[in-house]
Amino acid sequence: MTVERTLVLVKPDGVQRGLVGDVIARLERRGLHLVGLKLLRIDEALAARHYAEHVGKPFYPGLVRFITSAPVVAMAWEGPGAVALVRSTMGTTNPATSAPGTIRGDLAVSIGTNVVHGSDSPERAAVEIDLFFGADELVAWESALAEWTVGG
Ligand code: IDP
Ligand code: MG
């Protein structure tokens, strides 16, 4: 499995509700390792670039209002197949139908406030990590647990 990096956001609802630690703990325990982490307030320009694929959709104005309404925690996570692994740990977009055991299935009820973002492809992950992190803010390191998680 190819080692990938992916962007995860704890969205404003997750920060306001004190769920940052829970999200991080789930991804750590899954076996991914963190290579970038920051708290920031997304502005309209960054929201437009991050959610470019949704510009013009009916929910877009509300989505921008929401994502800019309070700070987010942005993270870059690394591991084999990290993009799909984060998506499966997050659960489906609408928490109403997300499986229990997933972040959204355990912690959210509404599609507009679904706690987390995760990149949907390796290509988008590269673009999104670039939007949120400078190269000097990403730290490559070898996880001492790799032998026991990803198999060495
Ligand atoms: P994703 O976050 O699971 O990748 P996307 O389809 O990329 O889902 O949508 C981005 C975000 O926009 C979702 O996480 C959700 O918060 C919001 N969103 C998507 N579809 C709707 C909708 O139909 N109504 C309201 N908000 C939506
Ligand atoms: Mg998406």
Is residue 116 within 8 Å of 10, Cβ to Cβ?
yes
- Distance, CA 82 to ligand 1 centroid (Å)? 20
**Which CATH number covers residue 33?**
3.30.70.141
**114 ligand 1 Cβ < 6 A:** yes
The conformation of residue 96, written as its DSSP 8-state character, comes to G
User: How do residues 59-69 score in pLDDT, each as one tens digit?
Assistant: 999 999 999 99
Enumerate the β-bridge partners of residue 39. Answer: 73
- Please tell me the distance from the alpha carbon of residue 111 to that of residue 21, in angstroms, as a whole number: 21
pLDDT at 21: 98
| Catalytic (active site) residue 33 | no
pLDDT at 152: 56
**Residue keyed to tokens 């995760």:** 118
Q: Can you give the residue range of the structural domain that contains 49? A: 3-149
- Please tell me the distance from the alpha carbon of residue 87 to that of residue 136, in angstroms, as a whole number: 26
b/e burial code for range 56-70 (CB count within 10 A of at least 16 → b): eeeeeeebbebbbee
User: How do residues 3-13 score in pLDDT, each as one tens digit?
Assistant: 999 999 999 99
Total domains in the chain come to 1
Protein residue with least CA distance to atom 14, ligand 1: 93
Output Rg (C-alpha) for the chain, integer angstroms.
Answer: 15
pLDDT at 151: 77
User: How do residues 95-149 score in pLDDT, each as one tens digit?
Assistant: 999 999 999 999 999 999 999 999 999 999 999 999 999 999 999 999 888 888 8
User: How do residues 10-32 score in pLDDT, each as one tens digit?
Assistant: 999 999 999 999 999 999 999 99
- Please tell me the distance from the alpha carbon of residue 2 to that of residue 9, in angstroms, as a whole number: 22
Q: How far apart, in Å, do the first and last CA atoms of the chain sit?
A: 12
- Distance, CA 85 to ligand 2 centroid (Å)? 14
* pLDDT value at 35 more than 60: yes
